Amino acid sequence: MNNLNLTDLLIPSIILVILFYGLVHKLNIFDSFIEGASQGLKTTADILPALICLMTCIGMFKASGGIDMLSELFSPITEFFGFPKECTSLIFVRPLSGSGALAVYSDIIAQYGPDSFIGRVASTVMGSSETTFYTLAVYFGAVKIKNTRHALPSALAADMTAWIAAGAAVRLLL
């Protein structure tokens, strides 16, 4: 018999707390659930076109070799900051696609190992940067904001800072 962990009880406990709250406050739990699910589907329908466009553009960019071209073009600059050339493609995929970045990251780890400088920098980048374009498309699309104003440049500046800091931090801590 397996030992019961706290994490095994977490979801059932949350469900019981919600049911208990609904009973105490005399709420129709089923109707509330259906209403929330309906709103969730409406939100999904609202942001789906932006997601389809984003995923199509990312696929085209990767298939065309644009990421490889950008990596080669910018690798002298990233190496100047102590960022390994082998991780340069990761910094161009990460703001676009989490799954694409995970694929690039997996290739880096398979080729160089998780304990190498390159593997550690890649791991730090994955943990300290965001899928900026995806996040903006989903969250801004959900609330119907069309003009991102300063959000995109600010988010990309934060990503760039994370990449530079990743190389520096790993170099310092090795």
The stretch 112-116 carries a mean pLDDT of: 94
Q: Is residue 123 part of a domain?
A: yes
- Rounded to two decimals, what is the model's pTM? 0.68
Rounded CA-CA distance 153/144 in Å is 19
Whole-number pLDDT of residue 14: 92
How many domains, the chain? 1
Q: Which domain holds residue 127?
A: 48-173
Instruction: Kindly tell me if the per-residue pLDDT of 1 is higher than 60.
Output: no
Q: Is residue 36 part of a domain?
A: no
pLDDT band with cut points at 50, 70 and 90 for residue 2: low
Q: Is residue 91 part of a domain?
A: yes
Q: Is residue 23 part of a domain?
A: no
Among 32-36, 111-115, 144-148, the range scoring the smallest mean pLDDT is 144-148
Count of other CB atoms within 10 angstroms of residue 156: 14
Q: Is residue 98 part of a domain?
A: yes
Whole-number pLDDT of residue 120: 94
Q: Is residue 89 part of a domain?
A: yes
Q: Is residue 168 part of a domain?
A: yes
Over residues 12-63, the pLDDT tens digits come to: 999 999 999 999 998 898 898 899 999 989 888 887 887 788 778 877 887 8
Rounded CA-CA distance 40/35 in Å is 9
Q: Is residue 125 part of a domain?
A: yes
Angle at 101 between CA 100 and CA 105, to 5 degrees: 120
The stretch 144-171 carries a mean pLDDT of: 88
Count of other CB atoms within 10 angstroms of residue 45: 9
Whole-number pLDDT of residue 56: 84
